[in-house]
Amino acid sequence: MAEGCMMALRYGMVFFNLLFWLGGCGILGVGVWLSVTQGNFATLSSSLPSLSAANLLIAVGTIIMVIGCLGCVGAVKESRPLLLTFFILLLLIFFLEILSIMLFFIYQDQIDHYAQRDLKKGLQLFGTEGNVGLTNAWMIVQTDFRCCGVTNHTDWFEVYNATRVPDSCCLEYSDNCGLDNPGTWWTAPCYERVKDWLNENLVALWIFALCTALTQILGLVFSMTMFCQAVKVETFYA
C-alpha cells in the first residue's frame, strides 16, 4: 500500500513538474519572440531600461524551466539532493512573492510617487535615437487606453517645450494631429487609466495569484514527502 502511494506520488510529481517545465518553455518562447520581433517592447522606465516585457518573460521562463527540470529529474531518480534543491528554490520564490506583496501594500504611496516620477523622466526619451522600444510602448499605451501623458496631457508640453503632444494622444489619429487644438486630444492620465484597468481585473489577478500559490504549495508538499521517503528508504537499507 505504501509503495503504491509512493509510486502515485512520484508520477504526480513528474507530471506536475513536466507541466511546470512546459509552461516555462512557453513563457521563454514568447519572451524570445517579443525580443526578436518587437525589440525592447513595453520599456517605459528610464531608470530600468532592461525591464521590458521580453526580458521579464525570458527571465521568468528560464527560472521556471530550471526549477521544473530539477523537480522532474529529482522525482524520476528519487534523488535527495535534487528534491531538496527543488524544495529550497521553490520555498525561496514563495517567500519572496509574499514579501513583495507585503512591501507593495505597505509602501504603495511611495511606489506610486516613484513610478510617476520615473515615467515622467522616461517621456524625455520619447522619439530619441536608441529608444524605439520606449517610444512604441508609449504610443501603444496611449492609443489602447485612450489617455495622454503620465498624470496629465500637459506632461508632454515639457518634453516638446511647446503646446504639443504625440499623435497617439489624438482622438482621431492622423499625421501631426498632436499640433492641433487641445480639444482633439485625449486628456485622461495614462497612469490612472492603467491603475483603473488593474482594479477592474483585480478578481482575475487574485485568482491567478491564488492558483500560482496553490501550485507552489503542492510542489513543496510533493517534493518534501518524496525527500523524507527517500531518507527513510536509505536509512532502512543502510
Within the chain, residue ranges assigned H as helices are 2-38, 53-77, 80-106, 108-123, 132-145, 155-160, 190-200, 202-237
Task: Look up residue 208 and give its amino acid.
Answer: F
- pLDDT band per the 50, 70, 90 thresholds, residue 172: confident
Record the pTM.
Answer: 0.75
Percent of the chain with pLDDT over 90: 18
Give the other-Cβ count within 10 Å of 54's Cβ: 23
Q: Among the listed ranges 6-10, 125-129, 158-162, which one has the minimum average pLDDT value? A: 6-10
- pLDDT band per the 50, 70, 90 thresholds, residue 40: very low
